[in-house]
Amino acid sequence: MADAASHASYLPPILTFCAGAVIAVPLFRKLGQSAVLGYLAAGIAIGPSLLGVIKDPDAIRSTAEIGVVLLLFLVGLELQPSRLYSMRKDILGSGLAQMALSAIGIGLVGWWLGLSGAGAIAVGTALALSATSIALQLLDERGDVGEVYGRRTFSILLFQDMAIAPVLALLPLLATTGQATDAPMLPALASFGIALLALAAIILAGRFVLNPLFRILANSGAKDVMTAAALLIVLGAALLMEHVGLSMAMGAFLAGVMLADSHFRHELEADIEPFRGVLLGLFFMTVGMSIDLRLIAENALLLALAAPLLVLFKIVVVASILRLSCSSWIEAVRAGALLSPAGEFAFVLVPLGLANGLLDARQAAVATALAAITMLLGPIVAKLLDSVMLARIKPETMEEDFEGADGSQVMVIGFGRFGQIVTQALLLQHIDVTVIDSDVERIRSAARFGFKIYYGDGTRLDVLRAAGGGRAKVICVCVDDRQAALRIVEMAKAEFPNARLHVRAYDRIHAIELMKADVDYQQRETFESALGFGRVTLEAVGLSRDEADLIIDHVRDRDAQRMEIQYHEGLAAALDRVPRVSPEPLVAPKAKSRALTAETQQVIEDGGAEIAVGGVGEPER
C-alpha cells in the first residue's frame, strides 16, 4: 500500500494549477479579457520558462487534452444530424477553402525562409489549423454560438477536425518522397478503411445502443452511474478514433451528435460540464507552459514579426472567404479573428514532421513557439477587433437612428425572434417604436422596419434613459436572458413608474418571478403558441372550431388558476388542488390500446394503464 508521502506528491501540482487559475482568470476577466488568456498567462507563469513550479508540461498534456474532447462532445449535443447536414456547404466549401489557402500561403513563406518543400507543407498545414478550444470558448463567453458568424466559424473548425486524419497520413508519405516504392500506399489505404469502419461503428452504436443503455441506467435511479456512463461513451469514442488515426475530438463530437436527439441530452450535458470546464482550463495552461521564453528570446525578431503577420493573414483569408459567401464584413472579420490562432494539433503535427525528418530541431522548435504565441495573441486581437468594429458602428447608429426617440410610445428591448414578432402588430398601426439591442445584425434588421433604433445594452440605466424610457407608455422587455430581464424590470420600475412593463418570460418559474416583481403583463414565450398549435391539432382530428376553442380556453383557465396559487404559495402548492392537464379521450374508446413493442408495453404498465391482452404488436384476439 502506498504511503502518505506518495499520495501527497500529487497534491502540489494540483494545488499549483488551481492557484494559477484562481488568480489569473478573475484578473484577466476584470481587465475585460477572455478567460482563455488568463489560463495561458497562468501556464507561462508556473511553467519551466518562468517560475519553474511545473517542470514537465508534457506529462499532463494527454490528461489536459480530454478537456478539448469533452468540449467537442458538448458541441455535438447541440447539433442534430439534420442540422449538421444543413451545414454541409459551409463545412465543405468554406472549410476546404480556408484550409487550402492558409496552408499554401504559410507553406510558401516557410519555403522562402529556407524550409524544404516537404517541411514547408508540414508547417503550412500545421499552422493553417485553428484552435477549436479557443474559438468555441470565446463564442461561448460572448453567447454567440448560435449567431450566423458563430455557426460558420464552427463549420470551418469541423472541417479542420475532419482533415486531421488525412494530414496525419500525409506527413509520413512526404518523408518517403523520392523512394521508388509503392508500399507506403497500402498501409495508408488500410488505415483509411479502418477509420471508415470505426466511424460506422460509432454511428450505429449511437443509433441503436446508446438510448436503450441510458434508459436502463436511468431506471436504476443511480445518478453516479449515469455520469460514469457519459464519460465512458465520450472517452471510449475518442479513444477509438485516436486508435484508427483520427482525432479524439472527432470521436467525441460524433458521439454528441448521435445523442443530440436523445431525451437524456440535458442530463448528459449537466454531467459532463464540470469536467469539461476544469480540464479545458488545464489544457490552456499546458499550452502556456509549453512556451519556451528562452527560445523566444533567441528568435525574438523572427517571432515578433511572424506571429502577428500569421494572425492577420489567417484573418484576411477567412474574412475574404466568408465575405464571398454573402456574410457581412463584420461577421467575416469576427469569424476570422476567432480562427486566427494556430490549433492544438500543431503540437502534434510539428513533432511528427520532426520525427519523419521533414524539419530539423530548430525549425520544429520555432514553429511550435510560433503556434503557442498565436494562441496567446489571437484572443487579444479578437477582443480588439470586436471593440473597434462595435465602437465604429455605435456612434453611427445613435446619430442616424436615435433621432426622434422622444416621441416613441413603445420601447422594445431585445430584437430577436420574439421582439420582431411583437413589433409586427405595432408596425401595422404605425405606432412609434424605439428598439434597443446590442447585436449588430439585429440592429440592421430593425432598421428595415423603419423603427428608431439604438445600439446599446438594455440592462444599463443610462442607455434606457438616453433612449427615451421616461417618455415611453409601454416598455416591452423581449430579451431571452432571465436575469437580464429581471434587472431591466427592477430599474424600469424604479426610474420609469409611469410606463407599463410587458415582459417576455422564459418559463413558468421566470413568469412567477416577474409577477412578484409587479410587472403589468408577462407572457411565457412558448405558452400561447403551444395552445394555438394544440387548437389546430384538435381541429385536424375532427373537432369544430368552437369545440377546440372551448377546450383550449379550459386549459388556459386551469393554467391561470395554478399560476395564481403558485404565485402565493409556491410551485408545489397547486399540484394537489388544481388537476394537471393530461390527455383524456373525448369519447369512450372502442378497444384497449395495444403496445407495438415489449419496451412500450413495459412503459405503459409502469404508468398504471391497461393494455389489450395478447402478443406485443399483434391484434387483440
- Tell me, yes or no, if the pTM score tops 0.75: no
Instruction: Give the DSSP H or E segment for 281.
Output: helix 265-289
Kindly indicate the confidence band of residue 619, based on its pLDDT and cuts at 50, 70 and 90.
very low
Please report the pLDDT score of residue 502 as a whole number. 93
Residue 384 C-alpha cell reads as: 480588439
pLDDT digits (tens, 9 = 90+) for 10-32: 677 778 888 888 888 888 777 76
Average pLDDT over residues 570-592: 48
Angle at 230 between CA 226 and CA 233, to 5 degrees: 135
Residue 95 C-alpha cell reads as: 472549410
Cβ neighbours of residue 41 closer than 8 Å, sequence gap 6 or more: 24, 28, 288, 376
Q: Is the pLDDT of residue 351 over 80?
A: no
pLDDT digits (tens, 9 = 90+) for 186-211: 665 666 677 778 778 877 877 777 77
Kindly indicate the confidence band of residue 183, based on its pLDDT and cuts at 50, 70 and 90.
very low
Contact 435, 475 (CB under 8 A): no
Residues in the chain: 621
Please report the pLDDT score of residue 407 as a whole number. 54
What average pLDDT is seen over the chain?
75
More reliable by pLDDT, 262 or 225 = 225
Please report the pLDDT score of residue 140 as a whole number. 73
Q: Is the pLDDT of residue 378 over 80?
A: yes
Whole-angstrom Cα Rg for the chain: 29
Contacts 24+ apart (CB under 8 A), 503-510: 503/476, 503/477, 504/414, 504/418, 504/476, 504/477, 504/478, 504/479, 504/480, 506/480, 506/482, 508/563, 508/566, 508/571, 509/571, 510/482, 510/485
17-21, 254-258, 375-379, 583-587: segment of lowest average pLDDT:
583-587
Please report the pLDDT score of residue 57 as a whole number. 67
Q: How many Cβ atoms sit within 10 Å of the Cβ of residue 614?
A: 13
What string of DSSP letters covers 470-511? GG-SEEEE--S-HHHHHHHHHHHHHH-TTSEEEEEESSHHHH
More reliable by pLDDT, 301 or 10 = 301
Percentage of the chain modeled with pLDDT above 90: 3
Task: Indicate the angle between helix axes 300-324 and 95-112, nearest 10 degrees.
Answer: 150
Please report the pLDDT score of residue 395 as a whole number. 39
The amino acid sitting at 283 is: F
Q: Where are the alpha helices (DSSP H) in 47-80?
A: 58-64, 66-77
Residue 225 C-alpha cell reads as: 452511474
- Among 475, 476, 463, 458, which Cα is nearest to 418's? 476
Q: Is the pLDDT of residue 231 over 50?
A: yes
More reliable by pLDDT, 420 or 597 = 420
pLDDT digits (tens, 9 = 90+) for 555-564: 888 888 888 8
Helix (H, G, I), strand (E, B), or coil: what is residue 370? helix
The amino acid sitting at 196 is: L
